[in-house]
Amino acid sequence: MDSRPELLAPAQDWNSLKFVKGLADAVYFGVQNYNMRIKATNFNRKDLKSVAEFCHSQDPPMRTYLTTNILIYDSELQELDSIISEAKEAGIDAIIAHDLAAIRIAKNNNMEIHISTQANVSNIEAAKFFEEFGAERIILARELSLKQIKLIKQMLTKTKIECFIHGSMCTSISGRCYFSAAIGNSEQDSANRGNCTQPCRREWTVIDDEKNEFIYDGQMFLNAKDLCMIEYIPELIDAKIDAFKIEGRMKDPIYTKTVTECYKESLEAYFNNRYNKENVQNWLKKLRSVFNRGFHTGFYFHRPTIEDVELEKRGNISPYKKHYIGRVLSYDEKSKSANVLFENLEISLNVGDEIIIEGSTNFLIDIIRVIIFKGEKVNSIRRKPDSDPIKINLRIDKSVNIKDKICILRKT
């Protein structure tokens, strides 16, 4: 189906990558250096071949895009060349780049090139420049309206366009911001080097050079809400956008899976004539259940206003929060039984609850089928306020490790 856009999901690490198999058409990810999410877990360079093989072995195969989209210095050119050369040899499908040096190195290695949104391509002349250079895809600036996106798409002859449809929005121009670097007084905190500390998400007092103070009553006037275009899938498809991109390489696998799943379902619904208001409301409910700062439509239909800023709350406003329950003490592979130290004082654990198991090499979701306390099966258990942590056994079908954390999502 030629008119169907590619659905592109973020992959922070192996855990999030495995959660989007069967959902995303492609994934984008970084290795430890040279990408805009240095603080993410990221993959190791030695993982490149394994990532490519894992994604390409899916049915249908997922394409793989390596991000090398920060500003590059002379001292880094040789190492960047080695990484891109290794990506080519490993079978990675494309390089996402912003710096002209990275773009040129990718071209010299005969890699497919995707121009990063960091290049801030906002007009047809800039788009044509990269098309003539040989870019297979341009990730357009997030500050464009749908009307502007349509025009650029119509004027290109072979290069595809990609647009963000969901996730965090930068209050500056597509991340080209020096606020974090200025606050930290160091390039180590530079957004352009992938190390943004997100000072825009804080409360600020503004004072001018004449000592006039602008008081915002504790409101976070730079804290942009998240982009969410699930209500406008038909309009995006009509614009002939080639790839729909989900932001989120700093988010956990549950976020990645939930968001990707919703947009996959919305695309399938559109092409099967099942896209309707009821389905949209169900998808919005699911999207609000994971990390979000509230939703808006970015620049697609109008320039953002104060209504598109989350003024009162920093970080996640979802009513669902992840609560720590306890940790794995041991696991018996044969009986599929995990000995767990139940430490939470506030939450009861029930048969049928969905739990999250997190560890250095694990991120699993499972349903509690059996709870055993003091040798007896129980349907529910809660630690008493004045008691020590208690030991319970849980039936967990997938293998877990000692010290893995057990968590649960609960509505607050």
**pLDDT (tens digit, 9 = 90+) per residue, 103-146?**
999 999 999 999 999 999 999 999 999 999 999 999 999 999 99
Place of tokens 């988010």: 251
Tokens of 302: 């109008």
Tokens of 27: 């994934």
Q: 194 with 36: CB under 8 angstroms? A: yes
Closest-CA residue to 349 (of 410, 275, 280, 283):
410
**Which residues, including other chains, have CB under 8 Å from residue 219's CB and lie 6 or more apart?**
203, 311, 312
Place of tokens 């040989």: 134
**pLDDT (tens digit, 9 = 90+) per residue, 281-311?**
999 999 999 999 999 999 999 998 888 888 7
Query: How high is the pLDDT of residue 274?
Result: 97
Q: What single-letter DSSP state applies at residue 224?
A: B
339 pLDDT above the threshold of 50 = yes
Q: 224 with 305: CB under 8 angstroms? A: no
Q: What single-letter DSSP state applies at residue 74?
A: G
Query: How high is the pLDDT of residue 2?
Result: 54
What integer is the mean pLDDT of 6-29? Answer: 96
What integer is the mean pLDDT of 157-168? Answer: 97
Question: pLDDT band at residue 1, thresholds of 50, 70 and 90?
Answer: very low
Question: pLDDT band at residue 194, thresholds of 50, 70 and 90?
Answer: low
**pLDDT (tens digit, 9 = 90+) per residue, 206-219?**
888 888 877 666 67
Q: Which fold has domain 320-411?
A: Elongation Factor Tu (Ef-tu); domain 3 (2.40.30)
Say what angle helices 253-271 and 277-288 make with each other, to 10 degrees.
170
- Note the pTM of the prediction, 2 decimals: 0.89
> Residue 68's CB: how many other CB atoms inside 10 A?
27
**Which residues, including other chains, have CB under 8 Å from residue 1's CB and lie 6 or more apart?**
271
Say what angle helices 48-56 and 77-90 make with each other, to 10 degrees.
30
Query: How high is the pLDDT of residue 350?
Result: 94
Query: What pairs with residue 214 in β-bridges?
Result: 206
Q: pLDDT > 70: what percent of the chain?
A: 96
Q: What is the CA 179 to chain-centroid distance, rounded?
A: 22
Rg for the chain, CA atoms, rounded: 23
Tokens of 147: 């009307």
Least confident range from 39-43, 314-318, 327-331, 392-396: namely 39-43
In whole angstroms, give the CA distance from residue 291 to residue 293. Answer: 7
333 pLDDT above the threshold of 70 = yes
**pLDDT (tens digit, 9 = 90+) per residue, 362-402?**
899 999 999 999 999 999 999 988 889 999 999 998 899 99
Give one word for 276, left, alpha or beta, with left for phi > 0 and alpha for psi -120 to 50. beta
CATH number given to 6-308: 3.20.20.70
In whole angstroms, give the CA distance from residue 221 to residue 312. Answer: 9
φ/ψ of 302, rounded to 5, equals: -165, 165
Q: What is the CA 247 to chain-centroid distance, rounded?
A: 4
Please state the domain extents for the chain.
Answer: 6-308, 320-411
H helix or E strand, kind and range, residue 96: strand 94-97
Tokens of 68: 């090398």
Q: What is the rounded average pLDDT for all residues in the chain?
A: 91
Query: How high is the pLDDT of residue 67?
Result: 96
**pLDDT (tens digit, 9 = 90+) per residue, 170-180?**
777 766 776 77
Q: Is the dihedral of CA 218, 222, 223, 229 positive or negative?
A: positive
Q: 143 with 299: CB under 8 angstroms? A: yes
411 pLDDT above the threshold of 90 = no
Q: 157 with 133: CB under 8 angstroms? A: no
Place of tokens 């490993």: 90
Q: pLDDT > 90: what percent of the chain?
A: 72
What integer is the mean pLDDT of 18-24? Answer: 96
